[in-house]
């Protein structure tokens, strides 16, 4: 993701670090890396980003409690466009999840899910 202003960077850090509880694992002069637990989100601070959907539709982040994560996201003023709900993915074997979707600080789409 790219942040073109200090305000965008502040909102990204607030969302991913303060609200979702992820941690910054590296910083450098033009960016930082946020640890998702099984990968990284790279945030660049040296150019304007394009805030539109691209080849990657959304990030799916595993959480212990979808409903609590959504409560935190909503209380911070972010839009949840798919409320928490249960779903069974018709795979072999079938995959039972609880999931919800929101928009992040740069307009990115995020899915929060937990297995059950």
Residues 19-55 have pLDDT tens digits of 999 999 989 888 898 999 888 898 888 766 666 666 6
Q: What does pTM read for this prediction? A: 0.85
Looking at the structure, tell me whether residues 104 and 65 fall in a common domain. Answer: yes
Residue pointed to by tokens 């409903």: 67
Does the pLDDT value for residue 6 go beyond 90? no
Instruction: Assign residue 74 the CATH number of its domain.
Output: 3.10.180.10
Mean pLDDT of the chain: 90
pLDDT tens digits, 67-89:
999 999 999 999 999 999 999 99
| 77: Cβ contacts below 8 Å, ≥ 6 apart | none
Contact yes or no for 17/23 (Cβ under 8 A): yes
Looking at the structure, tell me whether residues 73 and 45 fall in a common domain. Answer: no
Domain holding 111, by residue range, is: 57-116
Taking the alpha carbons of 89, 91, 95, 99 in that order, is the dihedral positive or negative?
negative
Looking at the structure, tell me whether residues 1 and 24 fall in a common domain. Answer: yes
């Amino acid at each position: 993701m790219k942040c073109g202003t200090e305000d965008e960077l502040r909102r990204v850090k607030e969302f991913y670090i303060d609200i979702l509880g992820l941690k910054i694992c590296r910083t450098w002069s033009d960016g930082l890396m946020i640890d998702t637990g099984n990968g990284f989100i790279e945030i660049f601070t040296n150019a304007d980003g394009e805030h539109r959907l691209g080849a990657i539709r959304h990030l799916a982040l595993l959480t212990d409690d979808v409903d609590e994560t959504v409560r935190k996201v909503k209380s911070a003023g972010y839009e949840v466009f798919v409320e928490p709900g249960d779903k069974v993915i018709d795979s072999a074997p079938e995959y039972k999840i609880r999931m919800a979707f929101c928009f992040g600080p740069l307009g990115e789409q995020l899915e929060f899910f937990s297995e059950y």
